[in-house]
A = this chain, B = another copy of it.
Amino acid sequence: MRATILSVGTEILMGQITNTNTVYLSGALNSMGIDVMYHYTVGDNPERLAEIIRMAFGDCDLVITTGGLGPTQDDMTKEIACQVMDDELVMHPEILESIRERMTGFRIKEMTPNNMKQAEMPSRAVIFRNSCGTAPGFALENREGTKAIACMPGPPGEMKTMFEKSVAPWLASKSEGVIFFRELRCFGIGESELETRLLPLINGQTDPTIATYAKESECSVRVASKRKTSEEAEAAVEEMTGKVCDIVGEYVYSKDNEELPLVVVKRLKEKGLTIASAESCTGGMFASAVTDIPGASEVFHAGYVTYSNEAKMRDLGVKKETLEKHGAVSRETALEMAEGVRKRSGSDIGISVTGVAGPGESEAKPAGLAYIGFSYGDKLLCREIKRRMNDRGRNRKYSVMSMFDMVLRNI
């Protein structure tokens, strides 16, 4: 199946919002074996909207739209979909009833004609319930059954839920076979190296497919299979995942597409361990990534942002001689920070970082240089990072990822 993703809304063309729906839908459709050919964005203009849907059908069998399903005059995706697919809107009493119930929940008494408009749907449409908002979505085929349009609301939360609960199953029912996939997340290996090592598996492989993706500071491998039954697809993916892990398993931190901080917090909980952080160049990013996870208080009680040398000495007990002899950005300082924060906080593990994020740097201490310290029981370890990149944001992010990686590998 060949698809176009069409975003509707003048606010996107004005640059007021970043279109995150498209990247989500592209990934989801590709992993279902649907080829995404184009992304289009068009404003709230009926002629241009109709024209662009017709154009998309020139090349594709499927158009997925987001936006333009609300109650206001601007919202016209439904009307235009009807026009292009040769159908007409009819009132659906059960949708009207559910909108009425929802509004009563919000203590809104009167229903305006605008709200009633949301209960109108194309007569031949398959309706998708909106469990996070008011406007339902729908899928509509042309009379020949050769082309289909699926329309969803624009707000990302509503769209994603509707896609997962209703649109994905509807698409699966239209295609033969069942898709199963795994996303393996990796840290510590670059995408080109990852691909090179996996080439013997990738080459000549049609099912399961293996694809590598680069993300900021990390990369991932997607293993997907399309078979007659979900059992067959899952078995094929599991077997190939095993082969992938035989080659690059040491870099894989999640087989379920989970973020590294979440994986680490879960592991700490399982082991009943607590951790405390001492950060210099990352300035609190490690602590905020940990505490972004609900329930982090079980494993994390305290973190220190010791930006100045005075703070490193006062709060972590780093020795003055160490700072004078080796400098703040050094193996020795990182180790004293890790040991100091573990003791001071009474946590099982102390993790530390000191480095040069940039833009300021020197020949001896270039931007991208950082040291991660780790203290746990008898273990006292340090990792040196040399990135040769003068990009403050990226260097900070990479240091934080390295801290989590260091914890995961040593508990």
Identify the A interface with B (CB < 8 A): 7, 12-20, 22-30, 36-43, 48, 52, 55, 59, 213-214, 277, 279, 281-288, 290-292, 294-297, 300-308, 310-311, 314-315, 345-346, 358-360, 392-393, 396
Contacts and interface: CB of A to CB of B under 8 A. Distances in A.
B307 A303 contact: yes
A392 B304 CA distance: 22
Contacts of A310: 301-302, 346
Given A22-B19, A24-B15, A287-B283, A42 B48 contact: no
A39 B15 contact: no
A358 B296 CA distance: 12
A30 B10 CA distance: 12
Nearest to A216: B17
Given A13-B37, A26-B14, A359-B294, A305 B283 contact: no
A24 B28 CA distance: 25
Contact of A39 (B29, B41, B281, B295): B41
Nearest to A392: B294
A308 B315 contact: no
Given A13-B36, A39-B12, A303 B283 contact: yes
Given A26-B14, A213-B16, A306-B302, A283 B294 contact: no
Contacts of A25: 15
A198 B297 CA distance: 44
Number of copies: 2
A17 B23 contact: yes
B41 A27 contact: no
B301 A304 contact: no
Nearest to A312: B302
Contacts of A294: 358-360, 392
15 contacts: A12-B26, A13-B37, A15-B22, A15-B28, A15-B29, A15-B30, A37-B42, A40-B40, A55-B55, A292-B392, A300-B307, A302-B308, A303-B304, A303-B305, A304-B304
Give the interface SS of chain A, mostly helix, strand, loop or mixed. Answer: mixed
Contacts of A305: 277, 284, 287-288, 291, 302-305
B40 A15 contact: no
Given A304-B304, A305-B305, A13 B38 contact: yes
Contact of A302 (B213, B307, B358): B307
Contacts of A311: 301-302, 345
Nearest 9 CB-CB pairs, A to B?
A: A283-B291, A15-B27, A284-B284, A15-B26, A284-B287, A303-B305, A39-B41, A302-B311, A301-B308
Nearest to A24: B15
Given A15-B26, A283-B284, A284-B305, 8 more contacts: A12-B23, A12-B39, A15-B23, A283-B288, A283-B290, A284-B303, A288-B305, A292-B393
A48 B37 CA distance: 9
Nearest to A45: B37
A410 to B, nearest CB: 22
Contacts of A214: 16
Contact of A285 (B288, B301, B359): B288
Contacts of A291: 281-284, 305, 307
A61 to B, nearest CB: 16
Nearest to A302: B311
Contacts of A14: 26-27, 30, 36, 213
B15 A18 contact: no
Contacts of A284: 279, 283-288, 291, 303, 305
